[in-house]
Structure 1
């Protein structure tokens, strides 16, 4: 009998076991091909404004996808190999060499890989169309994504599959080579010892986790964080890592031991599931700790990029509040720019000319403008009435009323808008015309009148510092000051005005140091980059959750095959099937539940205290966070149900 014949007979004889491994490989191929095909989809590339950034981002994410696939397949293969150690021991006993067994494993991997390649590419092509449409939806493009199977994506998927076949074969070879023959026969018979739990360590686990939740829940503005930042960080780190480890190592063991000491322990099916779990505590501790903490990190990152994506829509408008704004130094440039806008496909909603006085600051801008390094050096003085007129046109509730030397600085981008009380106003001195004038800044407002200067290529550059002053003060200063005129336009379909902006930018910048700002210059770049970041993060998060849940899944399947003997004995002594099913459900719930609850708890407290509380002005963010956590819960619940079903079937099968 040749190795190829033996390979085929193995697949036929252990079809159920091979099916689990085959499904794992198909999932790996689907994931890789789906993501790779997006990078080469012509419909997607044709719709994007920043194709190079998209390809770079997808390429980086593809590397991460590949690493996750390797982790997932290798873990699945380790489960697969453990179930076959007795089989390999038989081959060695009858004279087969290690190299022949390795070659047989390689043939099996290639055969399974060929099947998974065909199935994975077909499924991946369908999913790539679906995910491509989702990506375009996130970027707010109306492009139609056709079903495609890019040859480049197929080539990279074949290369990845061949690489996986080699890596899996090497892993199998080292497993066979390093284990002695007697261990191969007894590999599935090893039983872990129940851990001796300590009630004080169990209590310490609860205290550490509770302390972490308390410090996290206090938020960044709490006294603990403000006065003791290092101890706070230490409490959170030790509480989350050490507390989680002790929770699974000691608290879980103590709880199971406590249940086993109760009088009613032998009633119902309590003994069935608790006794099995007591033997699994030691082996599951590190896995469950890692899954809890890494799951927390996954949800944190996913929620962060989701919030970043949702905030971008409003944030771009806050940074560049004008669809088009430019400085008109030359009347000819103004006339030509007006003609270009009138002839474009973007109708004018409203237009205003804004006059400003240019002044040189004599005192630092640190106290009156947040992050002054982001501003141009000259300060622009705007009359209160001119400012209020534009604010009302926008429909914003940001009007001001000033008298005498009072002023309001427009410091858009500040974390917290600040109103200074009587006697606490910030003093700002400016050189204006031939003299110097001082203003009392009574409010630092998180609002932009002109916004960031922009460039169709470089995006945002810097922003002008604007100081709103009383009308009578502005009128008195206007006589002896340098005046500047800005044309502000509100247009239709401003999100897709990239072509118009490029033409206007080329015209306006012929004037030396002229200000130019357009919403479209930043919108497409910001939305495309944040949408790609959200899409890639969500995609990777799903893969990571899938891989982490699979760690529990395969661990439970391994334990299910080892439990066949005890379950067979239970049936012989009269234990009913419904009691066994109930015991399996409770046992799996005890394994899947705590990592899920702790992970969601940690991530929610961190997101609520340090992200959501800082962006309260943006609606719908809390709902988005709960939607992500709900999706995380559903994925784990599906794995739980699948694990319960397969655990019962494997444990009930005749070994």
Structure 2
């Protein structure tokens, strides 16, 4: 019999065992092909303003996904090799060498991958259309996505999975070569020793976790973080990592010992499911610790990206409150710009001309503006009446009322707006008039998170600088007007401003023909910000699902491996009269003890950080809390499905149904 004949016979004989492996492969192909198809889909590329950035982002995400796929499939492969070590031992007894076994396994892998590629690319093509529509919906583009199978996506997927077949064969060769023949027959008979547990160490694990949660929950404005930042950071890190490790290493073992000492320990099936767990905790500790910590990070980052996407639409509006704004040019140029806007199909909703006074700061900019590097080095002084008129026109509740030398700094983008109480107001000096050199002392009563003029923009580079604006009283403005250079600005609000990229390119060329002239357009930033945040959310959600899938699979395959090793123990239980229902109950309780702690602690870690440091900072968006709970519900659902699948397959393996 040739190796190829033996390969086909093995696949037919072990088909039930290979269904899990086949599912893993198909999942990998679907993910890889779906993302590759999106990168080359012409309908998607036609709708985007930033095609190059999109393709670069998808390419990076595809590489990261493929690395996860490799790790997941290699872990699955190690499980199947352990399942078949007895079979390999028989081949060695019959005179086959390691190279022949590796070649046979390579043929099996190619066969599985051929089936996976065919099925996976068909499913991936269908899903790429669905996910393409989802991506367009996230970007708020009305673009029809057709079903396509780009040749570039087909080629890259086939090449990557051929590379994976070679990697699997190398892993198989070295794994078979490392193991002695006698070990192949006794590989499933090794038993672990239970870890001696200490009540003191168990309590220490709870103390460390509690300390971390208290510090996180105190918030970044607390004394612990303001005065002892480094110590608090170290304490949180040690508390979470050390507490998690000790929780699985000591607390879980101590809890099982406590259950063993109960008077009713021998009633029901408690003895059956707790006894085997005590022997498994040694090998499960590192796995469960890593899974819990890494999954917490994944959920945290996914929630952060989702929140960033949700607030992005309003954030762009805050950064650029005017659809088009520019420093006035000569009347002929202004009229030409007005005609271009009227002829563009973007109806003008309103047009206002406003003015301000040019000034130079004589005080440190950071006294009035947070992150002063984002602002222009010169100051624009705007009259209280002019500012309030524009605010009323926008329908915003941001009016000011000033007296004498009072001023409000428009520090848009600040984390925390400030109001300075009488007697504690910050003094800010400005110089007006290059020739007269008149210096004026203003008293800042408020630092407001609001923009009168938005970021200066460019159709290519997007946001450039923010005008540094101080709102001053009408009385002070009139007193300074004769001593300062007056600047006028044209402000337009138009229909469908987010689709005005071409209009913006025309206007930008006209306005900036004079260097250093202020120009701002909502369209210059909207497409880049929304496309970027939508792609980041789409890719991160996909990556998070894959990562959680891979992490849950680690527990999944670990439990199936232990089911194989415990098969003879369950056979003994069946002989002494333990029925199928009782065995299923034992398995469910045993696996619940393994699956539930990473789920519960992971969600708790993520929620504490998200609630304290993200949700509390964006209280103006009440729907975000529901979105975070939705993401956590998906996390819960994934682990629940793995738990249910594990209990079902664990029973089949342990009872001998899955030979």
Q: TM-score, normalised by structure 2?
A: 0.98
Task: Find the aligned partners of 1:410 and 1:78 in 2 and give their Cα distance.
Answer: 60
Query: Could you tell me which residue of structure 2 aligns to residue 530 of structure 1?
Result: 533
| 1:411 to partner: Cα distance | 1.1
Indicate if the aligned counterparts of 1:348 and 1:491 stay in contact, CA closer than 8 A.
yes
Task: Find the aligned partners of 1:524 and 1:7 in 2 and give their Cα distance.
Answer: 54
Query: Could you tell me which residue of structure 1 aligns to residue 356 of structure 2?
Result: 356
Task: Find the aligned partners of 1:576 and 1:184 in 2 and give their Cα distance.
Answer: 31
| 1:455 to partner: Cα distance | 0.6
Task: Find the aligned partners of 1:234 and 1:203 in 2 and give their Cα distance.
Answer: 20
Residue correspondence of structure 1 range 78-227 to structure 2 within 5 A: 78-227=78-227
Deviations 1:327-376 (A, max 9, x none): 11311111001111111111111111101111122222221122222222
| 1:195 to partner: Cα distance | 1.8
Q: Pick the aligned partner of 1:513 from 516, 521, 535.
A: 516
Q: Pick the aligned partner of 1:478 from 459, 470, 481.
A: 481
| 1:56 to partner: Cα distance | 0.8
- 46-55 vs 432-441, greater mean Cα deviation: 432-441
Q: Pick the aligned partner of 2:490 from 452, 469, 487.
A: 487
Local SS of the residue matching 1:429: strand
Query: Could you tell me which residue of structure 2 aligns to residue 8 of structure 1?
Result: 8
Instruction: Please tell me whether residue 503 in structure 1 is matched to residue 492 in structure 2.
Output: no
Query: Could you tell me which residue of structure 2 aligns to residue 300 of structure 1?
Result: 300
List gaps (5 residues or longer) in structure 1.
none
Task: Find the aligned partners of 2:224 and 2:631 in 1 and give their Cα distance.
Answer: 30
Query: Could you tell me which residue of structure 1 aligns to residue 600 of structure 2?
Result: 597
| 1:649 to partner: Cα distance | 1.3
Task: Find the aligned partners of 1:235 and 1:476 in 2 and give their Cα distance.
Answer: 57
Query: Could you tell me which residue of structure 2 aligns to residue 44 of structure 1?
Result: 44
Local SS of the residue matching 1:378: strand
Task: Find the aligned partners of 1:164 and 1:373 in 2 and give their Cα distance.
Answer: 48
Deviations 1:10-63 (A, max 9, x none): 112111111111111111111111111111111111111001111111111111
Local SS of the residue matching 2:534: helix
Local SS of the residue matching 2:265: helix
Local SS of the residue matching 2:470: strand
Task: Find the aligned partners of 1:336 and 1:115 in 2 and give their Cα distance.
Answer: 64
Deviations 1:94-140 (A, max 9, x none): 11111111110010000111001101101111111111111111111
| 1:239 to partner: Cα distance | 1.1
Task: Find the aligned partners of 2:155 and 2:37 in 1 and give their Cα distance.
Answer: 10
Query: Could you tell me which residue of structure 1 aligns to residue 262 of structure 2?
Result: 262
Deviations 1:368-421 (A, max 9, x none): 122222222221111111110110111111101111111111111111111111
| 1:615 to partner: Cα distance | 2.0
Task: Find the aligned partners of 1:450 and 1:228 in 2 and give their Cα distance.
Answer: 39
List gaps (5 residues or longer) in structure 2.
none
- 602-611 vs 101-110, greater mean Cα deviation: 602-611
Local SS of the residue matching 2:454: coil
Q: TM-score, normalised by structure 1?
A: 0.98
Instruction: Please tell me whether residue 623 in structure 1 is matched to residue 614 in structure 2.
Output: no
Task: Find the aligned partners of 1:272 and 1:524 in 2 and give their Cα distance.
Answer: 60
Task: Find the aligned partners of 1:360 and 1:222 in 2 and give their Cα distance.
Answer: 37
Indicate if the aligned counterparts of 1:329 and 1:484 stay in contact, CA closer than 8 A.
no
| 1:492 to partner: Cα distance | 0.8
Deviations 1:61-107 (A, max 9, x none): 11111110110010000000000111001110111111111110010
Task: Find the aligned partners of 2:279 and 2:180 in 1 and give their Cα distance.
Answer: 25
Task: Find the aligned partners of 1:465 and 1:17 in 2 and give their Cα distance.
Answer: 67
Query: Could you tell me which residue of structure 1 aligns to residue 644 of structure 2?
Result: 641
Task: Find the aligned partners of 1:565 and 1:364 in 2 and give their Cα distance.
Answer: 78
Local SS of the residue matching 2:466: coil
| 1:253 to partner: Cα distance | 0.8
Residue correspondence of structure 1 range 271-310 to structure 2 within 5 A: 271-310=271-310
Task: Find the aligned partners of 1:60 and 1:156 in 2 and give their Cα distance.
Answer: 14
Local SS of the residue matching 1:480: coil
Query: Could you tell me which residue of structure 2 aligns to residue 573 of structure 1?
Result: 576
Indicate if the aligned counterparts of 1:302 and 1:541 stay in contact, CA closer than 8 A.
yes
Task: Find the aligned partners of 2:515 and 2:611 in 1 and give their Cα distance.
Answer: 47
Instruction: Please tell me whether residue 613 in structure 1 is matched to residue 593 in structure 2.
Output: no
Local SS of the residue matching 1:189: coil
Query: Could you tell me which residue of structure 2 aligns to residue 241 of structure 1?
Result: 241
Task: Find the aligned partners of 1:16 and 1:559 in 2 and give their Cα distance.
Answer: 18
Deviations 1:210-258 (A, max 9, x none): 1111111111111211121122112111111111111111111111111
Q: Pick the aligned partner of 1:632 from 627, 631, 635.
A: 635
Task: Find the aligned partners of 1:248 and 1:424 in 2 and give their Cα distance.
Answer: 53
Task: Find the aligned partners of 2:233 and 2:283 in 1 and give their Cα distance.
Answer: 30
Instruction: Please tell me whether residue 391 in structure 1 is matched to residue 375 in structure 2.
Output: no
Local SS of the residue matching 1:280: helix
Local SS of the residue matching 2:377: coil
| 1:589 to partner: Cα distance | 0.7
Task: Find the aligned partners of 1:414 and 1:254 in 2 and give their Cα distance.
Answer: 49
| 1:621 to partner: Cα distance | 1.7
Instruction: Please tell me whether residue 444 in structure 1 is matched to residue 447 in structure 2.
Output: yes
Task: Find the aligned partners of 1:409 and 1:221 in 2 and give their Cα distance.
Answer: 23
Indicate if the aligned counterparts of 1:323 and 1:494 stay in contact, CA closer than 8 A.
yes
Task: Find the aligned partners of 2:199 and 2:75 in 1 and give their Cα distance.
Answer: 34
Task: Find the aligned partners of 1:622 and 1:201 in 2 and give their Cα distance.
Answer: 36
Local SS of the residue matching 2:317: helix
Task: Find the aligned partners of 1:414 and 1:341 in 2 and give their Cα distance.
Answer: 33
Query: Could you tell me which residue of structure 2 aligns to residue 400 of structure 1?
Result: 400
Indicate if the aligned counterparts of 1:329 and 1:514 stay in contact, CA closer than 8 A.
no
Task: Find the aligned partners of 2:317 and 2:502 in 1 and give their Cα distance.
Answer: 19
Query: Could you tell me which residue of structure 1 aligns to residue 372 of structure 2?
Result: 372
Q: CA-atom RMSD, angstroms?
A: 1.1
Local SS of the residue matching 2:407: strand
Indicate if the aligned counterparts of 1:272 and 1:580 stay in contact, CA closer than 8 A.
no
Task: Find the aligned partners of 2:348 and 2:367 in 1 and give their Cα distance.
Answer: 38
- 217-226 vs 393-402, greater mean Cα deviation: 217-226
Runs of 4+ in 1 over 3 A off after TM superposition: none
Task: Find the aligned partners of 2:155 and 2:198 in 1 and give their Cα distance.
Answer: 55
Deviations 1:575-618 (A, max 9, x none): 22221111111111111100000111011111111122222223
Task: Find the aligned partners of 1:74 and 1:377 in 2 and give their Cα distance.
Answer: 56
Task: Find the aligned partners of 1:362 and 1:573 in 2 and give their Cα distance.
Answer: 91
Query: Could you tell me which residue of structure 1 aligns to residue 566 of structure 2?
Result: 563
| 1:494 to partner: Cα distance | 0.9
